Each structure stands twice: as structure tokens, then as C-alpha cells.
Structure 1
Amino acid sequence: MKSRLVTLLVLLCAMTISNAQMRKWTLEECVTYAVDNNLTIEQFELDLEDSKIDASDALGNMLPNLNASSSVSSNTGFSINPTNNLPTNSTAFNVNAGFSSNVTLFNGLRNMRRLNRAKINAIASQYRLDDLKDDIRLSVANAYLQVLSNKEQLRTFEAQLAVTEQDLKRTKELVESGVSPRGDLLEIEATAANQEQQVVNGGSLVLISRVNLAQLLQITDYENFDIADEEFAIPPSDILDNSAKVIFDKALSFRNDIKFSETNVELAAEDLKIAKGANYPTLSAFFQYGTRYSDVTQIPDANGVPFTPNFTDQLWIFDGVSYGAQLNVPIFNGWSTRNNVKRSKIGLERAKVQLEQDKLALETNIQQAYVDVTTFFKAYEAAEKTLEARRLAYDYAKERFDVGLMNAFDFSQAQSRVDNAEADVIRTKYDYIFRLKILEFYFGIPISLN
């Protein structure tokens, strides 16, 4: 047991030396770092950028396209003379060039709907990203408070062990002088050994909770990671001055998970409009310009003598344009359009149901958080009262033990009850603080321990 204690003390000393040089993280710094460096957040940010590109695509579909083309070829043997479209058997060098443009004039407003959908999808992606950040903030706060709780418990265990070691030293002197029986010394030694075990376990819990927080921040240098050495009392808060209904109504106005569900309903509504748009005719317009050159081209001059115009002249002579409009009317496509409309209607209803489920889940969580704040505060108050009573009982027991009116076993039991009461106070305090911060977070109050 002593070897384990020595090992832990050496480790704690090493931690103390390194802590003097390492950065001590506050809660606000941890939350900010987690939000800025989380890989899942980075992935969602890429999804947001991708959705913005989708909006650009949708806008581009509403604009005319423009394409240019050209070709160069040489034919030997049988071919068609491009001048008179008659068969010939010769070697010809040909050049063709042109450009074309198409634009959709009307397609049941589907292009406009797709643009609206792309814009809404970008907003939905932003809400989803912000909702993930909210979840990470709560997770970091919980892990941070766990480190604080474990550190405070370790300090309590160390203080208890220091007191017991003083009692052990005094009891040894009394036993050696024959005033107290050896059994008292054995009992105090057993108590000290148990408290040494508590110190060992408490140190392990501090290390584990620090590693858990570091992993949540995606920091791999565990040995040089620690949080600020601060003790936090119960923070003042008037959140309970508001009813759970008031907190819920306010949460509906800004919670990113609700906004995300609402935009999903808008997306589904746009999908339905797009599907219905396929029932309408599609009207498009086109324009084409082309020209060519061929070294076998023969045209008559002013005297009727055939000759081959040069390259530039042929480009001007043989250019031409074509333009027009095209109308496509959907008549029957195997019920594809009708079924897509039905699927879109189902998708819209599904999105509405999901929104109501999310609202119900939020209301349930707020109601639970509201009850938890009240319950855990009462548990903390009860734990403090219990600790006060245990300390009074311990002081009375120590007075009796010091004058030989209580044996070491009963005295160690009184001390053990104080130890347990102090641990309960620490646990219930941080349980209450975390539930309080959750409820405040639902009310729009940023996470802070100040």
C-alpha cells in the first residue's frame, strides 16, 4: 500500500512540476478550442460549403449556356464535297467552327424552386453545424466539471489523510507510553491505509478525467494538459424565476436543432413544388452559329470561272445562323411524375412529424432539466447539512477519543462518516452546477462558471 502511495506521490510531484510550466485551461478556453478544432465540426463546415456551391449550381441552371466547337479534318478517297454535297474521290482539308446557346424559358418554375431549395439547404446546413457546436459545448462543460470535482475530492482525501497521520503519530506515542492499547494503533493504521487508498483512487480519477477532457478537445499531449486550479462555489442564478414553459417558449425561438427541423420542413415543401413542376410543359430557346472551310471548295467568279476562295473568305462566305424555340409537353411517363409528387408529399409530412417530435423532445428535456436543478440543489443542501452534523459528531468523538472515553474503532467510524459526507457534498455540488448550466443553456445563457 505504501509503495503505491509513494508511486502516486512521485507522480503527483511530477505533475506539480510540469503544471508550473504547462498551460492551465479555463472552461471558456476549452469550449472555444473544442469548437474550433473538432473534426466533426470541420466535416459539417465542408458540408456547408458544399451546400453553397449547390446554390450556385441552381442559379447557373437559370442562365443561358454558351458552347463553342471546332474541328479540323483531312479526307483521302471517297467523300462528300462540302460545296455541292456531291460524291468525290480526292484529298480534302476541312475546317468547321461554331458556337451554340440554349436557355430554358419555362419548366414549371422548377429552376426557380431548385434555387430556393439550395438557399434553404445552405441555411439548414448552418443550423445543423451550430447545433453540433451546442452539443460539444455541453459535453466539454460536463467533462470540465468532472475534472474539477475529482480534483476537489482529491484535495479533500489528502487533507483527511494528513489529519489521520497526525492522529496516528499521537496514538503511537500513547501506545508506547502504555496509555492506549495497541488495538487503537492498529485501528488508526487501518484508517490511514484506507485513506491512502482513497488518495490513490482520487489521483487516478483526476488523471482519467483529464485525459477524457483532452480527448474531447482532440489534444493528444495528455501529460501537459490540465485545467485551471480554481474552486467554484455554487454560482448565483435566477433561472428558476422562469417557469419551464417560459424557458421552453424561448428555446423554440433560437434553438438550432428546432431551426434545423423547421428548415427541413421548408426543404420538403420545395421538393413537392419541384415534383409538381414536372407536370408542366418545358419551353426552351436555342441559337447556333457555324462556318466552315474546305480546300476543295469551288465557286464561280464574276466570269463564271470556278475558283477556291482563301481561308478567311470562306469563313465569311459559308457562315450561317439558326435559332428557334422548342416545346416539350409531358403526356405519359409511366406515372413517374405522379409517384414523385406522392413521395414528396410523404416527405413533407415526415418532416412535419419530425419537427413535432423534436419540439416534444426539447420540451421533455427542459422539463427534466428544470426538475433536476431543483432536485440536485435540494440534494446539495441536504449533503451540506449532513456534513455539518457529521463534523459536529466527529469533533465530539475526537474529544472523547483524546481522553480515552472512545475506542479507536468507533472513532474511525465517525471519521469515515465525515469522509463520505464530504464526498457527497462535492459530488452533489458539481451535479447541481452542471444541471444548472444545462437549464441556463436552454434559456440562451452562454456556458460560464463565473
Structure 2
Amino acid sequence: MFMLSLQLLYFWNVMKLSKYPGCILAICLLFANIVATKAQDTWSLQRSVDYALANNIDIRQQSVQKRLAELTLHQSKMARIPTLNGSVNGSYASGRNVDPITNSFITTSYASYTGALSAGANIFNFFYQQNTIASNKYNYQAQDKLLEKARNDVAFNIATAFLQILLNTEQVHISEVQVKLTMDNLANTKKLVIAGSVPESNQADLEAQLATDSVTLVNAQNQVIQSTLQMKALLNLSFDQPYVPQIPDNIGEIPLPRLDEVDPEMVYSAANNNNPLIKADQLLIKSSERSYAAYRAQMYPTLSVSGQAYSGFATSAKNTEIVSIKNVSDETIGTVVTSTGTYNVTNKVYEYNTKSTTIPFKDQVSNNFKQTLGVSLNIPILNGWTYRTNAQKAKLNIESQKLTMEKDNQKLRQDIYTAHANAVSALQKYYAASRGVDASQKAYDFATKRFDLGLMNTIDYITTQSKLFNAQINKVSAQYDYIFKMKLLEFYRDQKIAL
């Protein structure tokens, strides 16, 4: 639709069709027919809101932030569970190395494998983990409120865009009526010119007015396209997919609260209890307070316990067994001197044939199995002032969050009072615009009778007709502006909106 509008305007400018009012009107009617042909179904406000809540990019981004906060909370809870880690290592060595089993130097090639299982647990850490969990819990709840705020904001923006489309569509209808009236007057004037009752300049004036009205109609149709594109962006809807709003039967019957029901102080009191941003600010303050307590806990000693089980296997660990006797010889180990003489003392020396085999895996694992158990007390003494600085930063963050909430409260109150003042002004403008339409309609009716009798020139008649047209546009704009202002106050009070 948007590209079609640009093409029509380009064709209009190139062909200089502004000189031919009939051509301009034909283009307008062709454009309107094309738009009507493409409209296959309609979108109610509720359907638009439901679609946006499921597809709007801002809501999906905030949903991701909520899930991230949920994961952080889950991880902080799991941190209370004792740690358990296992490791398996394998290596191959050659040359002169330390035997991993006997710790003696050997010169051979061997492969070794070790396995270990270690566990640890915090016994006492001055409630660091509990405060961290509480801080993450409040932050998760705050992200949930911010998601609710994003959903409410999108719903309100959808309603605003919906009203804007309705307003622009109504302006198109008024412009179409204006074009038709000018065409009827032009056709009647042409007959009078042919009959010689009025000068030909009257026809020229009406042709110029038809061109102006046709331009206004094209601009109004383009405003519908622009507001529809804005709606599609909010919906995250494909731009080539048609969007036609379901127009209420009577926009004036939309339920609106009375001004005394939306007193600014009363609305602020309700908003202060219901507004998700204020609730999120409160939760973030609690999260910052618990975070400060957690950082302070890091400055105190922590007590923990740890244990480890270890075993290993190496191909260098051998069992040696005797296969057979290789040789037997006598070895002199000393000399004995007696009264009868000197005798040599000998000893039998046996040489064996041996066989070496690697100690089985099961035996090595059993022989090398060892366990350790330890208790550790960690006392922070001097760590570059890190822990104390982190605690001071956390304390300042509490103050920052409180100022943020104060600022959001102040802005909320200001927005509500501004919205109420705008609503009062919009209602007065609507009443004034309504009186202006009544007066302009009467003036136009009298002018039409005088013009038909030849008692009013064309310029004055066109001026009267333009005043009526502008008054009608002003009334429609004022009506929609008042509806928007009242719905804004209703949104602040109830955190929901409906037409």
C-alpha cells in the first residue's frame, strides 16, 4: 500500500495531473478501490494487542532479560550444593624419568594413567550465599515486573496507534465527502455556464478547489498508510501483510471515565500501587540491599571442607618371578684361622632366569589408592582493598536505586497531572469544535441556497465550504484527542486499556 501511494504521487507529479481535477479524482478513487480490494480481514484492538504481546520485539527482549535473571537465581541456589569433580589423566614417557608409582628414577619407556575424585563444601561463610540468593531472587522479581511494564506499554502503544488509524480513516471519509460535494457543485456550475447564467470563472474556481480537495484526500490516505506502517512495526507484522482495523460502529460510544473519576491525585495513588515500574524499583532496592550484605560477608573468614580420592596405573610397575636356576657357584666370603690351619668360608651363589610382568591394573589401582580429607579456614587480611571497595560500591548502588525510584515517582506524578490537564483541555476543545461545526454547517447551508440562486460568488462559497470542512476535521481530531487523553488517564489508574 505504501509503495503504491508513492507510485501514484510520482505519476501525478510527472504527468502534471493537478491541471485535470477529474484525473486526480479518478486516481483517488482507484487508489481507494485497490486498498479496499486488498483488505481481506479486519483486526480488532484485542486481536492487535494479543498479537503484539506474542510478537513485539521489545517484549521478547525483556523476556530474555527475565530468563537470564532466572538462570542467575538458579545458579546461586545450586552453589550451596557441595562441589564434586572427577579427573582422568594419561601420559607416555621415555628416557630418564621418575617412576609415578615408586618415585625412583628409571630409564625406560612407559605409559601411566591416573584418576582422581575430589569434593568440597562450604561450612560457614557468614551468610554470603544466602544473601546472594535473596539478591538474585529480588532481581528476578524486578525483571518480571519490567516485563509486565513492557507488555502494558506495548498494549497502550497499540491502542494509541489504533486510534490514530481510526482518526486518519475518518479524515479520509470527510475528505471524500468534500471531494464529492465539490464535484457536484462543479457539475451544476458547468450547466449554468453553458446556459450563460454564471461566468466561466466560477467553473475555473471550482476546478481549482476540486484539485485542492483531491490533494487533501490523497494526503489523508497517505496518513492512513503511515499510521498503519507504525502499527505493523509495533506488531512486528510483515509490511506486505494487509492490516485493516475493525472500526467501531460509533466512536462516540466508547466508554470513558468521567473527569471526577480520574482526579490526578487519586490516579497517582492507584498508579503508585499498581505501576509495575514502581514495583520493579522497590524490588531492585531490596536486591541491592541483599547484594551489599553479600559483599560484606566476603570480608569475614570462611570455613570449608575438602576431600580427594586418588589412584594410578603405570606400565613401569613390574612383578619379577624366578623361572629356573641358571648357575651355581661358590663365593669366598671369609677366612677362618684355627689351630689346625686356615680355612676359606664359602657361600653358594645362585644365578636365576627371571621373568618380569606388568602388575595387573586391578592390583595397581588397589595398591595405589589413597584418600585425603582437609578442613580450610580462609581469613581475608589484605586483598588490595577489593572486598571493602565492592561493599562500598554496593552501598552506593542502594542509594542510586532509591534515587531512581524517587525520579520515577516524580515523573509518574508529573505525567498524570499533565495528562489530566490535557484531558480537560481536550474536552473543552471538543465542545468548541462541535459548536464550530454546527455554526459552519448552518453558514454552509445558507451559502448553498444563495449560491444556487446566484446571490453568492464562487470564491465566497468555496470559502464557506472550506470552513465547514476544516471545522469537521477539527471536531474529529478533537474527539479522538479527548478519547486518547482519557484512555491515558485510565491506563495510569488501571494499568490496562480497552476501546
The answer to whether TM tops 0.5 is yes
Alpha-carbon distance change, 308 to 420 in structure 1, aligned in 2, over 3 angstroms: closer
Report the AA paired with residue 189 of structure 2: T
Counterpart of 1:113, as a letter, is N
Judge conservation of contact 1:83–1:298 (CA < 8 Å) in 2. Answer: no
Question: What is the distance in 2 between the residues matched to 1:82 and 1:197?
Answer: 94
Distance 2:31 2:88 in 1: 77
Label 1:402 to 1:74 Cα distance change in 2 as closer, same or farther (>3 A). Answer: closer
Query: Which residue of 2 is the match for residue 238 of structure 1?
Result: 257
Matched residue of 2:197: which SS?
coil
CA gap 1:404/1:86 in 2 versus in 1, 3 angstroms = closer
Q: Deviations over 1:356-404 (max 9, x none)?
A: 0001101111111111111101111110111011111111222222223
- 1:204 maps to 222
Cα distance between partner residues in 2 of 1:142 and 1:124 = 27
Secondary structure at 2:252 match in 1: coil
Q: Which residue of 1 aligns with 2:298?
A: 278
Q: Give the 5 Å matches for 1:30-429.
A: 30-222=48-240, 224-231=242-249, 232-240=251-259, 241-297=261-317, 309-429=359-479
Secondary structure of the residue that 1:144 maps to in structure 2? helix
For each residue in 1:124-160, what CA deviation from the matched residue of structure 2 results, as whole angstroms up to 9, or x when unmatched?
A: 2222222222222222222221111111111111112
CA contact (8 A) 1:239 1:440 kept: no
Q: What TM-score results when the alignment is normalised by the length of structure 2?
A: 0.83
Distance 1:410 1:29, change over 3 A: same
Moved more, 390-399 or 281-290: 390-399
Secondary structure, aligned partner of 1:443? helix
Q: CA RMSD in A?
A: 2.4
Q: Give the letter aligned to residue 173 of structure 1.
A: K
Q: Which position in structure 1 is the counterpart of 2:35?
A: 15
Cα distance, 1:339 vs structure 2: 1.8
Q: Deviations over 1:388-422 (max 9, x none)?
A: 11111111222222223222222221111101100
Relative to structure 1, the CA distance from residue 386 to residue 86 in structure 2 (aligned partners, 3 Å threshold; closer, same or farther) is same
> 1:28 and 1:314 mapped to 2: Cα distance?
74
Question: 1 CA distance for matches of 2:363 and 2:422?
Answer: 89
**Contact 1:97/1:290 (<8 A) preserved:** yes
The 3-state SS of whatever aligns with 1:321 is strand
Following TM superposition, by how much is the alpha carbon of 1:248 offset from its aligned partner in structure 2, in angstroms? 0.8
Q: With the length of structure 1 as denominator, give the TM-score of the two structures.
A: 0.92
8 A contact 1:140–1:213 mirrored in 2: yes
The answer as to whether partners of 2:73 and 2:133 remain within 8 angstroms in 1 is yes
CA distance in 1 between partners of 2:482 and 2:237 (Å): 28
User: 1:348: how far off?
Assistant: 0.8
Q: Take 1:284 and 1:184, find their aligned partners in 2: how far apart are those partners?
A: 100
- The 2-side partners of 1:130 and 1:212 are apart by 22
In structure 2, relative to structure 1, the CA distance for the partners of 1:380 and 1:222 (3 Å cut) is: farther
**Structure 1 residue 353, shift from structure 2 partner:** 0.5
Q: CA deviation at 1:96?
A: 2.1
Aligned partners of 1:445, 1:92: CA distance in 2, in Å?
Answer: 75
**Does residue 497 of structure 2 align to residue 447 of structure 1?**
yes
Question: 1:445–1:92: structure 2 CA closer, same or farther, 3 Å change rule?
Answer: closer
Amino acid at match of 1:61: A
- 1:222 CA drift (Å): 3.9
Higher alpha-carbon deviation: 179-188 or 33-42: 179-188
Q: Distance in 2 between matches of 1:443 and 1:90?
A: 85
1:291 is paired with a residue whose SS is: strand
Cα contact 2:275–2:495 (8 A) shared by 1 = no
- Identity among equivalent pairs (%): 27
Unaligned stretches of 5+ residues in structure 2: 1-17, 322-355
Superposed displacement of residue 243, structure 1:
1.9
Residues in 1 aligned to 2:495 and 2:201: alpha-carbon distance in whole angstroms: 57
**Structure 1 pair 85–9 and aligned structure 2 pair: CA distance change class (3 A):** same
Output the amino acid matched with 2:239.
D
Cα 1:71/1:89, change in 2 over 3 Å: same
- Partners in 1 of 2:66 and 2:312 — Cα distance? 47
Q: Could you tell me whether the CA contact under 8 Å between 1:211 and 1:222 is conserved in 2?
A: no
Q: Which amino acid aligns with 1:18?
A: K
What is the CA distance between 1:287 and its match in structure 2? Answer: 1.0
Q: Which runs of 5 or more residues in structure 1 are unaligned?
A: none
* Bigger CA radius of gyration: 2
Matched positions, count: 444
Q: Deviations over 1:34-78 (max 9, x none)?
A: 221122322222222222111121112111111112233344343
CA apart distance, 1:23 = 2.1
Report the Cα offset of residue 308 of structure 1.
7.0
Cα deviation, residue 334, structure 1: 2.5
